[in-house]
Amino acid sequence: KCDAFSAQTQRGQTGIDEACTRKQGTGGVFLWGDSHAQALSLGLRTLLARTTPFYQVASASCLPSLSDHDGRASATSRACDYSNRTALQGIERLHPDIVVIAQKDSHDKTDWNRIAARLKRLGVKHIVLIGPLPSWNPSLPSVIANRHWGLTESYISDPALDQSVMAVDQATRELATSAGIQFVSLIDKLCIADACRVRPENSTSLLQIDSGHLSAEGSLYVVRNYVLPRLVNE
């Protein structure tokens, strides 16, 4: 209900459900981004203290941005522009203490200085950027089915793992730090050399459902272990 693209293209609505940005109290956490941000939502909604207000605005294939798309707009870009405008308006109105940003890719091509400056002017105290997740081609389930079936190891090394994500992660860390943004490197947390975690501890479930999106169990695992500690300590 908080995804602008599905609201506009599948449900025939002009925008997301008002509950996504309905004021719940002072402060709180605001989640902004694309479908990878949405995948974190379950973990955040489940594990944040019940007294902590939580808000969410996102749209599939939509990088957080301060400006609209140029040129002829597709359904995806129209939904994205709406989503980003709605997020910024919501942040200005709700005054969350923390904004959590997550996106699939292009972390190293985003102007984090501009975004950080805007959010700080709106009164945000802490900005937390979630780095890219391991990316599997074509998907983690197919990699497991084709070359690791019957095995239960928590980490795997496989040619299907996109190694370029590692460089993007490092570049983004530097950009975020210079912008005064807290950076959570999931690559550092989930990968050792060229092998990455594919299952939580003591579980046979996969962390990711496709090339990158977290599964329900993956969302809970990543938020509990790597995201929530950064929010609690802010």
Domain containing 180: what range? Answer: 4-232
> CA-based Rg of the chain, rounded to a whole angstrom?
17
pLDDT digits (tens, 9 = 90+) for 49-84: 999 999 999 999 999 999 988 866 799 999 999 999
Return the exposure string of 130-158: e unless at least 16 CB atoms fall within 10 Å of the residue's CB, then b.
bbbbbbbeebbbebbeeeeeeeeeeebeb
pLDDT-based confidence at 234, cuts 50/70/90?
low
- Report which secondary-structure segment, H or E, holds 98: strand 98-102
CATH number of the domain enclosing 113: 3.40.50.1110
What percent of the chain has pLDDT above 90? 87
CA atoms of 99 and 95, how far apart (whole Å): 10
- Specify the pLDDT at position 37: 97
The letter for the amino acid at 172 is: T
Q: pTM here?
A: 0.95
Number of structural domains in the chain: 1
CB of 57 closer than 8 Å to CB of 127: no
Q: If we measure between CA atoms, which residue out of 64, 72, 56, 73 comes closest to residue 18? A: 56
pLDDT digits (tens, 9 = 90+) for 126-142: 999 999 999 999 999 99
The letter for the amino acid at 76 is: T
CA atoms of 70 and 78, how far apart (whole Å): 11
pLDDT digits (tens, 9 = 90+) for 20-55: 999 999 999 999 999 999 999 999 999 999 999 999
What percent of the chain has pLDDT above 70? 98
